[in-house]
Structure 1
Amino acid sequence: MAVAALRLTACRPWDTRDRAPSALPERRHPKLKWWDRAAIAVLTALKPRITDTGSADRRFAARVVRAGRRLDRLSDDDLRATAASLRPRLLAEGFDGPAAVRAFALTREATRRALGYRHHPVQIMGARRILSGHLTEMATGEGKTATTALAAATAALAGVPVHVVTVNEYLCTRDHDTLLPVYALLGLGSAAIDPEADPAVKRRAWLAPIVHVSGKTLVFEYLRERLGRDDLASPQRRAAARLAGAGARPSMPPALAFAIVDEVDSVLIDEAQTPLIIAAPHRRMSDADCHIALAAARVMTAPEHFRIRRDARRVELTDAGHAALARATEGNGGLWRVPRARAELAGHALSALHLYERDQHYIVTDGKVQIVDEFTGRILGDRQWQAGLHQMVEVKEGLDLSEERRTLAQITYQEFFRRYLWFGGMSGTLAEVARELSRTYDRPLARVPTNRRVRRRLTGTRLYRTERAKIAAIVARARRMSDRGRPVLIGTRSVDVSERIAAALAGTPCRLLNARQDAEEAAIVAEAGHAGRITIATNMAGRGTDIKLTPEARAAGGLHVILTEFHESRRIDRQLMGRAGRQGDPGSCEQIVAVTDPVLTRFAPGLCRAARLIPWPLPRRLPGPCASAIRVVAQARAERRGAQTRMASLRRSEKLAELMAFTGRR
């Protein structure tokens, strides 16, 4: 009996026992005791991190291919009518029976008619796993957008509201525009959510069967909709309003039923470091307070007055620092009379001076400090650092002081996505975070094989003693590859480094893609596969982009990727290197780094100092194996720190939810 119930849930995932008692579909994550958490942690550590697709997936894909052989005889109208007739069968059979095979075959045929190609068996296998709630690892270049169409269309044909969640607005619009003709051939409405659109337009868009939306827009829409809504105060009031047919406007989003998360590790891991917050203007400190704090911080010295914790990105005042601060600010009123507030202001000033660097952590455009996402290289529009740090950076840069913000509502990505009845996702890099995804989101993981043999060559790592020597080597290597007719992609972590490499390449035609050129992303990426083209990019070119090679570039050896700095996560290194050798194309990648790179010095400073002492015949170089050893240690520490931060953020969110429920405000 238990086995039968388990199979029913697997093929009909909307039949979850944890459904919240509300008029709108939403899941209620069960409360766990400490011993439950401990058991889950042990089990996820012991069981395999990620499993491969198996014979059942291959049989399903073969059935889909066979079912589609006669569909080319149908007219477009007959195709739509056949798709519409599947809803009762899909609801009765779920997603593992003949109706699902038929839905996949119809979507595959619609894709052929609209886009000119049919899905490969590996894409069918991946979509089947996503539809059943798996997180799937599909190698870069294996056609994740086309895979999305299979899962999204099948769920929508069953009448399930579908949200396709992307990393950013660019990919949201691009993917929706690509798949719109496929959805239309199947008779399915779809929409892409524009965060700047009129609320009435967004409400109509949210009612579409398939909605494409970026992760941040989705969560912020959810928070704004539930902030101060009397008609959402209780499940009973929501249900009564819906039965009465009046008194409640449509919710945005209307239901958290099924989500397909593209680049799932970026959304659920990288973006989950801090909670998403809706805030209101709030004035706590003045421009004068910031100037006083910065003046005091500039005369302090380390380690006498403060210690810098670069791994935790925190500054700690010593006893001597507290005493020096009190003397430096003696006679000032307001916040400066309160020791704790005084220390907090000084801490923000020291952080602004020593931890947050222009053109790495932020850029200044139009008289504003714009935060740069360290994982994607994109600008985080309308985002601020909290507790006055953002204002301290503004004053450091000589800008007008913006207003601080007081938190009105917040939610973590972990808490939000656990509210979906079920969700699936895909990415090219899941193995490194499989345990955390399984433990936090209770999602099974699967690895999908590639359609063609990977032809990417790894040419090793070169480690240099200084940044200057590293940039010279990168420039020489890029020019050599370009002269051979090969396109070159140079990947950097920061805006500053990308612009320094571009300056060093003066006289050599190249394109630069970072947070300052994000509006030109599509055009720059479209040309990056041309023969002899050199493209310098931050992590913007590492997610969701497809660099298509010209015949001349393919004949010359394909794309050559140069990684110029290790990232805090091995996944991001793999994403960047995965730009080369896609879909059976030739390609190569190499790593040219320096022992002075920020990630290495921040998380493995002792090893970096020791490496500099190694005698080596080449004066500017160090042994390549040293780079691998330092990278392993630094990235392990960085990933452990990130996992701890995400877990702490989730625990605070759960504790806050308990307190709000206790006071009756939830």
Structure 2
Amino acid sequence: MDGPGRQPTSVLLRPEQALPPAMRWFERPHHQLKGWVGRWRWRKGRPLDDYLQGIVDLDEIALAYSDQQLHTAVAELRRQLLCKGFDRDSLCWAFALIREAAGRSLGMRHFDSQLRGGLAMFLGRVAEMATGEGKTLTATLPVSAAALGGIPVHVITVNDYLAARDAEEMTPLYEYLGLSVGCIQQGMSRDERRDIYAKDIVYCTNKELVFDYLKDHLVLKGAAATMHRHAERLKGNVEMDQQLMLRGLHFAIVDEADSVFMDEARTPLIISGETHHNEGQEQVYQQAVTLAQQLQRDTHFEQQDLRRHIQLTEKGESAVDTASANLGAYWVGRIRRYEIVRQALTALIFFERDRHYLVRDGKVQIIDAHTGRVMPDRTWERGLHQLIETKEGCELTAPRETLAKISYQNFFRRYHWLAGMTGTAREVVGEFWQIYSLAVVDIPTHNALRREHYPDTLCATDADKQARIAESVAREVALGRSVLVGSSTVSSSEIIAEALAEKGVNCRLLNAKQDAEEAEMIAAAGQPGQVTIATSMAGRGTDIKLHTDVHAAGGLHVILTELQEASRIDRQLAGRGARFGDPGSVELIVSMDDEWLQRAWYRSLLMAVSEYSWGQRLALLLMRRGQARLQTQHSRLRQQLLKVDARQGDILAFTAGSI
């Protein structure tokens, strides 16, 4: 039986999987064929039927146990797993005991669909479960089973709020089973993190985990081999032991797997350190921004929006040479002056306030594009952060240099056993297999989906869109329902809030500026007449509990105000409503002024026919085609990053600051 196995658990031994060599051209067809055959064999999780029947057969035995007998059975199972590992019978018995323990400690017993999802993950697959099917509870099955077998487990999700919520809600079950659990949160000290990573089960975010891994490798620099680390200990170097946090990469279950493995995998994660702050740097950054503001697109530079790349033309280079002739010694170097002007143009063109960053307390703070949350301790590299600070008139921070970096693709493939769960995997099934060798299993729903889809609406202008949103919100509030309005940026959420206020509709804003009030706002979002406007902070994993009156009135109504960069993200936001068999509805309201059509050459033609129904359908079709093209381009970027990693030979050794 395939499944996770025990490895040594030590900060010095640190077991992890060696990265597989890059596939040669003649190996790729075989790998693809293996993936197709596996998907056909695992359709609807049919190989899980035998396991499921075995669990159901054992249910009555576990149900008849007293609490004392159940604890004794768990302890005996734990001894058996530590001695012999997992087989089919022990896995079924473990799931049956965990199911019964969940019923007694949480008041929730796993449904058969959740047992299927848990089995799929334990066997190293990605379980695709519809939004609202209870993935948090489902994950406790493989997590608890592996932990009982002595395997450290990392449960990885996309933000601190979800990690803390899931850990807190599931802790009674883990404690009932005699397992220790902890949660890594932003701002924790190294000692606190070390203590938590020593527990059986650790909830954390992907970014916190990867940065802790990189920090450990900075400590290990020069002692990467196990023998070297033992030699340092024999020499009395206890500092290394005290600084290391992780005990290796054993078993990871990744919640919202498509977001972590795909959406956030287009750029590597980098740890940097401060460099010496030269006295003249502030003047140089100001000169670069001033010079860049004088350049014109197409004449002096060309821009590639997807890659956020600027290329100076010959006229642009000539203009930079002329303008910088008397600016000082920094500008003498030809390559250096072109590079800083390109970075200044990047800061001016591609990075928008309240979209990519906030200015808070006189400091530029990055907004995570995928979670909508502020990352106060993170900075952009190669002078970009300082140029944005110059643009905004903020005090400059010291420049930073790269100390270590790793891509998500290379990090997660180092786990000895990897699995995931998500509600939106079908669009990237092939990529899951191609990069991570993870098969996706579609898990049937326990409850019939009761989500009503309203007709899509296309407005001529952004002002018309705001009016239509206000009209839709007022209509649903009058019915006694709660409403969630989704937007992509802080600034757009504030514009919608202003439009609603003008119509006399009270609402609450949930974006990066109100992140401290997140839990309170989500708790109130399901009350009658409550209107919540949210960025992606209220997307993945957010569970809005409905008041009984709202349930009777039709449930939560979700309004999408623009198409996101991937259709999976749109489906995640729509999935905040109609969860757990509750009623709910969703509608899309967009306009011709949206980013998808703003720069399209055919926009004027669509404007001319937008008053006709077929014209609106055509415009919506073209917007979705643009979204599909962007998804394809993002997939190519991830493939390109993986090839770059392979060429650089990033296999557990530092090479120019890489792993």
What's the TM-score once normalised by structure 2's chain length?
0.92
Q: CA deviation at 1:524?
A: 0.7
8 Å contact from structure 2 (residues 251, 417) kept in 1: yes
Segment of structure 1 superposing worse, 382-391 or 41-50: 41-50
Q: Relative to 1, partners in 2 of residues 1:44 and 1:385: Cα closer, same or farther, differing over 3 Å?
A: farther
1:163 aligned onto 2:160: no
Give the match for residue 625 of structure 1.
617
1:547 aligned onto 2:526: no
8 Å contact from structure 1 (residues 461, 624) kept in 2: no
1:403 aligned onto 2:398: yes
Instruction: Report the secondary structure of 1:535's partner residue.
Output: strand
Give the match for residue 5 of structure 1.
none
Q: Match of 1:614, as an amino acid? A: V
Q: Relative to 1, partners in 2 of residues 1:94 and 1:518: Cα closer, same or farther, differing over 3 Å?
A: same
Q: CA deviation at 1:534?
A: 0.9
Q: Relative to 1, partners in 2 of residues 1:222 and 1:36: Cα closer, same or farther, differing over 3 Å?
A: farther
Q: CA RMSD in A?
A: 2.7
Give the match for residue 536 of structure 1.
533
Q: CA deviation at 1:257?
A: 0.7
What are the superposed Cα offsets for residues 518-564 of structure 1, whole Å, 9 maximum, x if unpaired?
11111111111112211100011111111111111111111111100
Give the match for residue 509 of structure 1.
506
Q: Relative to 1, partners in 2 of residues 1:543 and 1:456: Cα closer, same or farther, differing over 3 Å?
A: same
1:345 aligned onto 2:340: yes
Q: CA deviation at 1:196?
A: 2.4
What are the superposed Cα offsets for residues 71-111 of structure 1, whole Å, 9 maximum, x if unpaired?
34434343233212113543677545121111111111121
1:323 aligned onto 2:315: no
Q: Match of 1:476, as an amino acid? A: E
Q: CA deviation at 1:371?
A: 1.5
Q: Match of 1:574, as an amino acid? A: R
d(CA) in 2 for partners of 1:96, 1:429: 31
8 Å contact from structure 2 (residues 39, 441) kept in 1: no
Q: Relative to 1, partners in 2 of residues 1:394 and 1:663: Cα closer, same or farther, differing over 3 Å?
A: closer
Give the match for residue 460 of structure 2.
465
Q: Match of 2:164, as an amino acid? A: T
Give the match for residue 426 of structure 2.
431
Q: Of residues 491, 516, 520 in structure 2, which corresponds to 1:496?
A: 491
Give the match for residue 587 of structure 2.
590
d(CA) in 2 for partners of 1:352, 1:154: 49
Q: Of residues 584, 609, 613 in structure 1, which corresponds to 2:608?
A: 613
8 Å contact from structure 2 (residues 4, 146) kept in 1: no
d(CA) in 2 for partners of 1:613, 1:664: 55
Q: Relative to 1, partners in 2 of residues 1:193 and 1:660: Cα closer, same or farther, differing over 3 Å?
A: closer
Q: Of residues 134, 147, 152 in structure 2, which corresponds to 1:143?
A: 134
Q: Of residues 465, 470, 478 in structure 2, which corresponds to 1:475?
A: 470
d(CA) in 2 for partners of 1:660, 1:156: 26
Segment of structure 1 superposing worse, 69-78 or 423-432: 69-78
Matched residue pairs, number? 648
Instruction: Report the secondary structure of 2:150's partner residue.
Output: coil
8 Å contact from structure 1 (residues 491, 561) kept in 2: yes
Q: Match of 2:22, as an amino acid? A: L
d(CA) in 1 for partners of 2:150, 2:135: 23
Q: Relative to 1, partners in 2 of residues 1:600 and 1:521: Cα closer, same or farther, differing over 3 Å?
A: farther
d(CA) in 2 for partners of 1:176, 1:163: 11
8 Å contact from structure 1 (residues 49, 431) kept in 2: no
Q: Of residues 201, 210, 215 in structure 2, which corresponds to 1:219?
A: 210
Q: CA deviation at 1:238?
A: 3.8
Give the match for residue 278 of structure 1.
271
Give the match for residue 252 of structure 1.
245
Q: Of residues 291, 294, 298 in structure 2, which corresponds to 1:299?
A: 294
d(CA) in 1 for partners of 2:146, 2:558: 38
d(CA) in 1 for partners of 2:295, 2:73: 74
Give the match for residue 282 of structure 2.
287
8 Å contact from structure 2 (residues 6, 149) kept in 1: no
What's the TM-score once normalised by structure 1's chain length?
0.91
8 Å contact from structure 2 (residues 270, 405) kept in 1: yes
Segment of structure 1 superposing worse, 285-294 or 607-616: 607-616
Instruction: Report the secondary structure of 1:139's partner residue.
Output: coil
Q: Of residues 571, 575, 579 in structure 2, which corresponds to 1:578?
A: 575
d(CA) in 2 for partners of 1:599, 1:472: 20
Instruction: Report the secondary structure of 2:576's partner residue.
Output: coil
Q: Match of 2:575, as an amino acid? A: G
Q: CA deviation at 1:36?
A: 5.4
What are the superposed Cα offsets for residues 260-286 of structure 1, whole Å, 9 maximum, x if unpaired?
111111111112111111111124771
Instruction: Report the secondary structure of 1:69's partner residue.
Output: helix
8 Å contact from structure 2 (residues 272, 401) kept in 1: yes
For structure 1, the residue ranges without an aligned partner over 5 or more in a row are 1-7, 17-21
d(CA) in 1 for partners of 2:439, 2:346: 40
d(CA) in 1 for partners of 2:205, 2:30: 30
8 Å contact from structure 2 (residues 493, 509) kept in 1: yes
8 Å contact from structure 1 (residues 135, 445) kept in 2: yes
What are the superposed Cα offsets for residues 385-439 of structure 1, whole Å, 9 maximum, x if unpaired?
2211111111111101111210001111110111100111101101111111111
d(CA) in 1 for partners of 2:397, 2:568: 36
Q: CA deviation at 1:114?
A: 1.6
Q: Match of 2:13, as an amino acid? A: A
8 Å contact from structure 2 (residues 143, 153) kept in 1: yes
Q: Relative to 1, partners in 2 of residues 1:341 and 1:43: Cα closer, same or farther, differing over 3 Å?
A: farther
Instruction: Report the secondary structure of 2:601's partner residue.
Output: helix
Q: CA deviation at 1:140?
A: 0.7
Q: Relative to 1, partners in 2 of residues 1:301 and 1:404: Cα closer, same or farther, differing over 3 Å?
A: same
Q: Match of 2:470, as an amino acid? A: V
d(CA) in 2 for partners of 1:239, 1:442: 34
Q: Match of 1:254, as an amino acid? A: R
Q: Match of 1:435, as an amino acid? A: G
1:105 aligned onto 2:96: yes
d(CA) in 2 for partners of 1:103, 1:346: 61
Q: Match of 1:564, as an amino acid? A: T
Q: Of residues 168, 173, 191 in structure 2, which corresponds to 1:177?
A: 168
Give the match for residue 115 of structure 2.
124
1:333 aligned onto 2:323: no
8 Å contact from structure 1 (residues 231, 238) kept in 2: no
Q: Match of 2:569, as an amino acid? A: I
Give the match for residue 235 of structure 1.
226
Q: CA deviation at 1:458?
A: 1.0
d(CA) in 1 for partners of 2:27, 2:631: 20
d(CA) in 2 for partners of 1:660, 1:123: 37
Q: Match of 2:226, as an amino acid? A: P
Q: CA deviation at 1:370?
A: 1.4
Segment of structure 1 superposing worse, 436-445 or 119-128: 436-445
Q: CA deviation at 1:503?
A: 0.8
Q: Match of 1:233, as an amino acid? A: A
Q: Match of 2:353, as an amino acid? A: R
Q: CA deviation at 1:661?
A: 5.5
1:641 aligned onto 2:633: yes
8 Å contact from structure 1 (residues 378, 514) kept in 2: yes
Q: Match of 1:539, as an amino acid? A: S
Q: Match of 1:446, as an amino acid? A: V
Give the match for residue 269 of structure 1.
262
Give the match for residue 556 of structure 1.
553
Q: CA deviation at 1:15?
A: 8.2
Q: CA deviation at 1:367?
A: 1.1
8 Å contact from structure 1 (residues 190, 209) kept in 2: yes
1:71 aligned onto 2:62: yes
Q: CA deviation at 1:631?
A: 2.6
What are the superposed Cα offsets for residues 269-322 of structure 1, whole Å, 9 maximum, x if unpaired?
112111111111124771111111111122222221222322322222221111
Q: Of residues 69, 78, 86 in structure 1, which corresponds to 2:77?
A: 86
8 Å contact from structure 1 (residues 58, 121) kept in 2: no
d(CA) in 1 for partners of 2:656, 2:348: 43
Q: Match of 2:99, as an amino acid? A: R
Segment of structure 1 superposing worse, 70-79 or 638-647: 70-79
